[in-house]
Amino acid sequence: MRSTNILKLMMSLMGLAMVMALGINRAEAARGSDYSFSATEMFSGETMDLEALTAEAPLVFHIFSPECPHCQRHMPYVKNLYGKLDGKAVNFLMYSVDSSERETQRFMDSRSLSMPVVIDGDGQFSELYKRDGWPTTVVLGKGGKLIGTCDTNGPSYVDEVVELVAKAQKDYFN
């Protein structure tokens, strides 16, 4: 019996080592997780609910922190992406972590950003999606299914997210 437990432990550790060696991150490993949420949008006061946001179109969900230097440098690409997306064919929501509503408002105002934003002050929800830190963009399809994540910083970011959106849209048009 003891050797069976040791064998199970060794197999589990080998599986974990393989996952780590293959570079599979938490977001990819957690694809079957429940990503549901309901939060109040900062500007409109509207309730943002994952089920409603993914019922008719994919959701592009950008996780950032106003205090994060990488997030600050990345924001022009996010703004470009937001302008490029068809608001009727895809939903877009920014998720501010580790900052208060006031700090987030200041950040948005200083960059003339008018995208919908919800606040996650303690960062608990974002842990479900986070790859290697912020900023991270998540694309969710029908029923909140995780289509993919993108943490690319730079000009290719917009194209990568648009590809994920196109992949997600297949679920809505088939």
Please give the domain boundaries of the chain with CATH numbers for all domains.
Answer: 1-25 (no CATH), 31-173 (3.40.30.10)
Cβ 64 vs Cβ 76: under 8 Å: no
- What is the per-residue pLDDT for 122? 58
> Is the pLDDT reported for residue 16 higher than 50?
no
Q: Determine the pLDDT at residue 23.
A: 36
Residue-wise pLDDT tens digits, 51-78: 889 999 999 999 999 999 999 999 999 9
Residue 20 half-sphere exposure toward CB, CA atoms < 13 A? 6
Helix 69-84 vs helix 156-173: angle between axes, to the nearest 10 degrees? 50
Between 158 and 49, name the one with better pLDDT.
158
Q: What is the mean pLDDT of residues 27-44?
A: 64
